[in-house]
């Protein structure tokens, strides 16, 4: 997997660019009443939330769900916030089997976190937060890690036990 990682990152970036340019602005027209895209567009939706998560989950004001046009705009916002995230979960992600992953390093002190784990076929996950700097590369195994118990969780945060591909370096205040 480590050898495939750079190619998968390039494919993910291309899927993200395609979503931003060609899909996210019109796809919400096809959402059902619950805010889900149809199956033929599922890879453009987040795997763990509907397109209504922006206004239902408190990312933007709940009033954005009050009219069909505002709901459409909120759904567009959500898709641009998480462009092509289903691609990272389904075709670029991998099955997560807890006993096949080993945490090599985990530290958490105030706003500083370091997490590094190795999985099957040299899959890996490196997550670091230093203040507002976030670095997330590999496959998001930390989503299955319980930092209090310092062990893997056996419950999925998505529709199946998968870890999505990630390649994120960002700073947020």
Residue 173: per-residue pLDDT: 76
In this structure, are strands 162-163 and 94-95 parallel, antiparallel, or unpaired? antiparallel
Q: Is 23 in the same domain as 79?
A: yes
Longest dimension (CA), the chain: 49
Q: Is 72 in the same domain as 126?
A: no
Residue with tokens 């069909």: 68
127 - beta bridge partners?
A: 115, 136
Half-sphere exposure of 126 (CA within 13 A, CB side): 8
Query: How many domains does the structure of the chain reveal?
Result: 2
Q: Is 155 in the same domain as 85?
A: no
Of 65, 89, 113, the domain-final residue? 89
Of 54, 72, 89, the domain-final residue? 89
pLDDT along the chain (173 residues), means of 10: 90 97 98 97 95 95 94 97 94 96 95 95 95 95 94 89 95 84
Residue 110: per-residue pLDDT: 86
Q: Is 43 in the same domain as 117?
A: no
Q: Is 72 in the same domain as 119?
A: no
Q: Is 81 in the same domain as 114?
A: no
Q: Is 19 in the same domain as 52?
A: yes
Of 37, 57, 89, the domain-final residue? 89
- Evaluate the CA torsion angle 94, 99, 105, 106 in order and state its sign: positive
Structural domain span for residue 112: 95-171
Using CA atoms, how far apart are residues 128 and 149, in angstroms rounded to an integer? 19
Query: Counting beta carbons within 10 angstroms of the beta carbon of residue 131, is it exposed (0 to 12), middle (13 to 18) or buried (19 or more)?
Result: exposed
Q: Is 121 in the same domain as 49?
A: no
Q: Is 85 in the same domain as 103?
A: no
Residue 70: per-residue pLDDT: 96
Phi, psi of 170 (to 5 degrees): -150, 160
Neighbour-count burial for 62-84, b at 16+ CB within 10 Å, e otherwise: eebbeeeeebbbbbbbbbeebbb
């Amino acid at each position: 997997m480590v050898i495939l990682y750079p190619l998968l990152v390039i494919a993910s970036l291309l899927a993200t660019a395609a979503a931003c340019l060609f899909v996210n602005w019109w796809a919400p027209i096809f959402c059902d009443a619950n805010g889900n895209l149809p199956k033929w567009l599922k890879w453009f939706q987040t795997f763990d939330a509907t397109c209504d998560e922006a206004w239902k989950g408190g990312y933007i004001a709940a009033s954005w769900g009050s009219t069909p046009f505002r709901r459409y705009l909120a759904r567009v916002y959500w898709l641009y916030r998480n462009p092509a995230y289903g691609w990272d979960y389904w075709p670029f992600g991998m099955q997560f089997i807890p006993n096949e992953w080993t945490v090599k390093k985990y530290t958490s002190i105030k706003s500083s976190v370091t997490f590094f784990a190795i999985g099957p076929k040299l899959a890996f996950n490196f997550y670091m937060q230093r203040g507002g700097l976030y670095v997330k590369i590999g496959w998001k195994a930390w989503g299955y890690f319980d930092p209090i118990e310092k062990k893997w969780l056996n419950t999925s945060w998505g529709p199946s036990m998968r870890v999505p591909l990630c390649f994120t370096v960002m700073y947020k205040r």
